[in-house]
Amino acid sequence: FFLSSAVTVGRAQVQQESSAETTEGIAISINCSHPTIQVFDYIYWYRLLPGRGPEYLEFIHKGFKALRDPPGRLLVAKDRLSSALWLDSPRLRDAAVYYCAV
């Protein structure tokens, strides 16, 4: 199934891959670049499931944070210029458009 990501632009510019594909149960990383992030900015992740509104996943400032649903984690590079949403064992129901925002 496909996991898509979209570019989100706000005060800090964010760049994402256009799409990613995996097989159910196979881990995948969705990457986000935010080269103009500021010291106090947080990184937010959302997803848009087919036929539904946006769903907030989690926010992070630095380091890593575990996610419950979908199971996985958020990771931020030490220089904070990029981050990733890691899905440990994505299911078909996790097929969505994933957004990061700063």
* Architecture category of domain 26-101 in CATH: Sandwich (2.60)
Check residue 5 and give its pLDDT. 53
Q: Which amino acid belongs to residue 100?
A: C
Q: Which of 74-78, 85-89, 97-101 has the lowest mean pLDDT?
A: 97-101
Separation CA 34–CA 66 (nearest Å): 21
Check residue 44 and give its pLDDT. 95
Can you give the residue ranges of every domain in the chain?
Answer: 26-101
Check residue 22 and give its pLDDT. 83
> 12-53 pLDDT, tens per residue?
578 877 677 888 999 999 999 999 999 999 999 999 988 898
Check residue 3 and give its pLDDT. 53
The DSSP annotation for 63-76 comes to SEEEETTTTEEEEE
By C-alpha distance, which of 57, 8, 66, 65 is closest to 32? 8
Separation CA 62–CA 60 (nearest Å): 6
Would you call 9 helix, strand, or coil by DSSP? Answer: strand
> 70-83 pLDDT, tens per residue?
999 999 999 999 99
Check residue 2 and give its pLDDT. 47
